[in-house]
Structure 1
Amino acid sequence: MKQRGVTIWLTGLSGAGKSTITEALAQKLREQDYPLEVLDGDVVRTNLTKGLGFSKEDRDENIRRIGFVCNLLTRHGVFVLVSAISPYREIREEVRGKIGDFVEVFVNAPLAVCEQRDVKGLYKRARAGEIKSFTGIDDPYEPPLNPEVECRTDLEELDESVNKILHKLDQLGYLR
């Protein structure tokens, strides 16, 4: 029986913990020999979507392109882990509709917590006016209305977040 692929889309503010959860989840899935690819928003922006800015239109196009790659991989039995802010609900729903096998994970941490974790100094620069249209500061983040999983990274440990996602994948029949 062919392995069923799935896109696991982690969305949330910068600093919420998307990449951290993605890395830990990827490790768990690799240990069980699942075919896997990780599409990290920062890496994608320097390769696949280089040249796109941060207007709503460019952000939507960025997500559309990530979604296109996810669709190709997912339909070939690959688990695709996406770690991208993807701030707008409508484009996330559009991508979900095209992929089908899609699990949305809302990596939820309050803005104040994300700012405290700001290892890249982006929030500080945005607050100083050096970065315009920064999600959560002067550009909106639209949280998912009905994500399959919500990880409250300000309240739960990393293992708990990863296990919630694995449990949901199992419930939905993606794990063997």
Structure 2
Amino acid sequence: MPKETTQVVLRGNLTKVAYAVAFALCQRGIQVVTLRKSEYQKLKKSFDGKFESNLVISTTYSQKIWLVGAGLTKEEQLKATKGTIFIPFSQFPPKKLRKDCFYHLTPAMSTPLALENVDSCENWLPRRVMSAWRIGGIIHGLEGWEEQECGYKISNIDEVWEASLRHGFQPLTIPNQSYFHLH
């Protein structure tokens, strides 16, 4: 996400990843907006009273950053403001319906230069880019971590991030909003 982001829409099926992303963003002071009351209530309950002041429900579609997963409808996508950046949190990217919006890749990182014979693991990712799910498995093994993630329990996100960087994986850059003429 662009560094200056203070508010995002979270839209899509509430998966383990969606819950973890919403909680981590709220914990970092970024306001997470839901468009459906049922999703708001489920997320709020999962927060167990922590950081829920950063979780809000809205009926407008004016936010410029949307974190999306499976379950994003065509109608919702068409209601987004011109210039919206759609960033998937799911394994598969949304169908690109709008020419006046930006569609980011699915969660992924560039691979270490020392890693050889890597093209891409998914046909929608560029060369030498690997999905976060695959990287997570590799890091889990490289670090010798034994714990298993079950239900909504997610490993320490910051610890996994730091280990990924330590092993040479690099974040993909997204141009800042001014690049997309979102004034």
Q: So what's the TM-score if we normalise by structure 2?
A: 0.36
| Greater gyration radius | 2
More helix by share: 1
TM-score of the superposition, structure 1-length normalised? 0.38
